[in-house]
Amino acid sequence: MFDLKHFVIFVLFSVFRNVYTQSQNEVREPNDLSENGIPEKFSDWDTYWINNQINANNVDEVDVKLYYESLCPDCIQFDKEQFNDAVQKLSQYVDFHTYPYGNAKTINENGVIEFECQHGPPECYGNKLHACAIDNLNNITESVAYNSCMMGGENRGSDDAAADRCAASLGIDSTPIKACAKGDRGTELLEYYGEESKKANFSYVPYILINGKENDGSNFMRDICAAFAVSPPPCVEYSVLLLDQML
């Protein structure tokens, strides 16, 4: 039986893929110029390129917040399968913010700040390492890659051994990060992330907000791309991949 819906999808995909492939591979010769230096006629490729340049300048930024904890199995799985990859591809277009605190508790005993974490003291220290990496590296792409590496090790532990191993693999100096985690700065940072996490008022992790709206994280890349008014190049490539899988 003729399936009109799938036929339309196929036609649209074919047209889109042809234009996309042309944009990636075609080499163009310059147009003939008039006496005043203006092209006599814009080709279809010229129009496509100009529109892309205009759209590229109009891409709106999307805000994403991730609340997590360093030893949470679900957080580790989400980071490994979706979050780190999305950050590496979209950090140019998305304001990513990470909050390594999760379901911990901040305790103030006569001015002395301590923490209780869902997976015990090792997680509290791991959260501090993550917080200090964010603070020291001051680069969301690098800090997410580094923290993802620590969570993704064989023992999934965010400890000194993981900090050193991941620093070596990524060309990062782990010394100031570990010193921060062991000192007052690490405590200050974790206390701050606790305050920010309390504002979000969540009851589980990973807890994800895309432009302030709760997201279940089941199809993270798709949902981020859907938040743009104009899709940035990584989202266009992602759409092509999805359509390829559908057909």
State the DSSP code for 156: -
Q: Is residue 138 part of a domain?
A: yes
* One domain for residues 91 and 207: yes
Q: Is residue 246 part of a domain?
A: no
Q: Is residue 120 part of a domain?
A: yes
* One domain for residues 71 and 113: yes
* One domain for residues 120 and 198: yes
Question: Which of 58, 77, 81 shows the shortest CA–CA distance to 221?
Answer: 81
The phi, psi pair for 32, rounded to 5°, reads: -65, 140
For the record, the structure tokens of 133 come out as 């990496």
Q: Tens of pLDDT along 97-138? A: 999 999 999 999 999 999 999 999 999 999 999 999 999 999
Give the position of tokens 């075609």.
26
Structural domain count, the chain? 2
Q: What percent of the residues of the chain are helix, what percent strand, and what percent coil, each to the nearest 5?
A: 55, 15, 30
Q: Is residue 18 part of a domain?
A: yes
| Domain encompassing residue 169 | 62-226
Which CATH number fits the domain that encloses residue 187?
Answer: 3.40.30.10
How many angstroms separate the CA atoms of 147 and 112, rounded?
Answer: 27
Q: Is residue 241 part of a domain?
A: no
Per-residue pLDDT at 3 exceeds 90:
no
Residue at which a domain ends, from 58, 79, 94: 58
* One domain for residues 122 and 27: no
- 29 pLDDT band (50/70/90 cuts)? very low
Q: Is residue 87 part of a domain?
A: yes
Per-residue pLDDT at 81 exceeds 60:
yes
* One domain for residues 216 and 177: yes
β-sheet bridge partners, residue 215 = 208
Chain-centroid distance of CA 127 in Å reads: 19
Model confidence, pTM: 0.77
Q: Is residue 20 part of a domain?
A: yes
2-31 mean pLDDT: 47
Handedness of CA 218, 219, 221, 225 (dihedral sign): negative
* One domain for residues 40 and 100: no
**Residue type for position 88:** Q
How many angstroms separate the CA atoms of 12 and 31, rounded?
Answer: 29
* One domain for residues 87 and 202: yes
* One domain for residues 18 and 84: no
| Measured distance between the N- and C-terminal CA atoms of the chain, rounded to whole angstroms | 17
153-163 mean pLDDT: 86
% of the chain with per-residue pLDDT over 70 = 76
State the DSSP code for 27: -
**Residue type for position 215:** N
* One domain for residues 33 and 80: no
224-232 mean pLDDT: 95
* One domain for residues 114 and 199: yes
* Residues composing the chain: 247
* One domain for residues 37 and 118: no
Q: Are strands 62-68 and 94-100 parallel, antiparallel or unpaired?
A: parallel
pLDDT at position 153 is 80
* One domain for residues 29 and 68: no
Q: Is residue 213 part of a domain?
A: yes
